[in-house]
């Protein structure tokens, strides 16, 4: 039996000395292959007496299994080591720029949101956000669009496929069609006085030169005890003059309709369209810039604010629209095509 022990020791030493899979395979063949040392010993069993054969046969089987297990363990160790070495050598830093020579720039949408936020921050508005996946209550009902109201149909809403809920059910989920939803969250969670500005993505099922299924809006909301239409006019006039960098810019407020404001208005700024070119701040034409109004008492009530005690104004504007006007960008769709040449042309440098 001791020569079996010696054989095992030899083979174990050879297994441990094998430094790659090919060398290990050689060791396996020389021990367990057709002409291997263990196999050769198996062949001699026939010459032994039945008792010896039984004892020797069992011992050889044990030896064979032990060697196989050692070889398998060594093989998986060598494979792991080889993989780790490769991983070490082929390491890539995924945070590196793929084109190190290319300098990034700020997208006109981000730039415009920053500019607008800065102006309203100076007037005491606090920046806030809300969810993009909303429910019917926040997008419509709380904002005084009752179920079945025709103004709901104007929004080309993307509903989520909640099969157990019907459109018009307050809990029906949807992608918000306007940032006015955040008015509701803010009024439900904050006590007046309130002054918030809400930039964000909104979604509508529409696509052409002037519509994309996702675009950006900025919502403003101010609630206090004695807020009136004069405050709305002053605040938005000051905003337009600063945003378009035109001191004496003329503006006008046209009566309009939104279910969540009463009275409602659209604000236009002075422009000149003669010669096929649009110039802001001169001329006798008007250009629509945003929607606004005094918050409807029903909206205050729906959000837990007493309309006898508080009133306020709200406004909403399209970020792409004002960015196109300010920076002379002709096609809305190009904002979202991720074309580096477009961004190089219209983007803003990082300071
Ligand atoms: N939510 C309106 C829209 O998407 C925009 C708007 C109009 C917002 C008037 C307002 C507002 O807060 O007072 O068309």
- Topology of 105-349 in CATH? BirA Bifunctional Protein; domain 2 (3.30.930)
Q: What is the DSSP string of 122-135?
A: HTTPEE----SEEE
Average pLDDT of the segment spanning 29-37:
91
pLDDT in tens, 157-200: 999 987 678 877 888 999 999 999 999 999 999 999 999 999 99
pLDDT in tens, 208-228: 878 899 999 999 999 999 999
Please work out whether the CB of residue 261 comes within 6 Å of at least one atom of ligand 1: yes
Please work out whether the CB of residue 180 comes within 6 Å of at least one atom of ligand 1: yes
**In 84-115, which positions are buried (b, 16+ CB within 10 angstroms) versus exposed (e)?**
eeeeeeeeeeeeeeeeeeeeebbbbbbbbbeb
Please work out whether the CB of residue 219 comes within 6 Å of at least one atom of ligand 1: yes
Mean pLDDT of the chain: 92
Confidence of residue 2 (pLDDT cuts 50, 70, 90): low
Q: Tell me how far the alpha carbon of residue 49 lies from the centroid of ligand 1, in angstroms.
A: 101
Q: Where are the domains of the chain?
A: 2-90, 105-349
Average pLDDT of the segment spanning 138-144:
96
Q: Tell me how far the alpha carbon of residue 219 lies from the centroid of ligand 1, in angstroms.
A: 7
How high is the pLDDT of residue 330? 87
How high is the pLDDT of residue 19? 92
pLDDT at position 1 over 60: no
Q: Whose CA is nearest to atom 4 of ligand 1?
A: 178
Average pLDDT of the segment spanning 16-36:
92
Contacts 24+ apart (CB under 8 A), 236-242: 236/267, 236/290, 236/292, 236/315, 238/119, 238/123, 239/116, 239/119, 239/120, 239/123, 240/267, 240/269, 240/289, 242/119
- Token digits of residue 322: 């004002």
Q: What is the pTM of this model?
A: 0.72
Q: Tell me how far the alpha carbon of residue 217 lies from the centroid of ligand 1, in angstroms.
A: 9
Please work out whether the CB of residue 266 comes within 6 Å of at least one atom of ligand 1: no
């Amino acid at each position: 039996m001791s020569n079996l022990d010696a054989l095992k020791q030899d083979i174990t030493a050879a297994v441990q000395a094998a430094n790659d899979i090919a060398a290990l395979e050689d060791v396996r063949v020389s021990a367990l292959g057709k002409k291997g040392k263990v196999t050769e010993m198996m062949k001699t069993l026939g010459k032994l007496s039945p008792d010896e054969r039984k004892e020797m046969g069992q011992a050889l089987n044990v030896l064979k299994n032990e060697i196989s297990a050692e070889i398998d363990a060594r093989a998986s160790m060598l494979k792991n080591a080889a993989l780790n070495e490769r991983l070490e050598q082929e390491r890539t830093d995924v945070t590196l720029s793929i084109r190190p020579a290319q300098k990034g720039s700020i997208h006109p949408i981000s730039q415009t949101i920053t500019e607008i936020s800065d102006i309203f921050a100076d007037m005491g508005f606090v920046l806030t956000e809300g969810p993009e996946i909303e429910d019917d209550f926040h997008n419509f009902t709380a904002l005084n669009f009752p179920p079945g109201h025709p103004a709901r149909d104007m929004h080309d809403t993307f509903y989520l496929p909640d099969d157990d809920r019907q459109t018009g059910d307050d809990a029906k989920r949807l992608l918000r069609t306007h940032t006015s939803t955040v008015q509701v969250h803010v009024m439900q969670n904050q006590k007046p006085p309130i002054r918030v500005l809400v930039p964000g993505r909104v979604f509508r099922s529409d696509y052409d030169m002037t519509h994309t299924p996702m675009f950006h809006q900025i919502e403003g909301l101010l609630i206090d005890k004695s807020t009136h239409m004069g405050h709305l006019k002053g605040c938005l006039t000051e905003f337009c003059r600063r945003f378009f960098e035109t001191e004496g810019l003329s503006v006008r407020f046209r009566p309009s309709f939104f279910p969540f404001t009463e009275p409602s208005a659209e604000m236009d700024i002075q422009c000149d369209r003669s010669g096929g070119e649009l110039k802001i701040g001169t001329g006798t034409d008007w250009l629509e810039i945003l929607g606004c109004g005094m918050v409807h008492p029903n909206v205050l009530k729906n959000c837990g604010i007493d309309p006898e005690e508080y009133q306020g104004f709200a406004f909403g504007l399209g970020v792409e629209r004002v960015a196109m006007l300010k920076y002379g960008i002709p096609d809305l769709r190009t904002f979202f095509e991720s074309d580096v040449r477009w961004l190089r042309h219209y983007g803003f440098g990082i300071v």
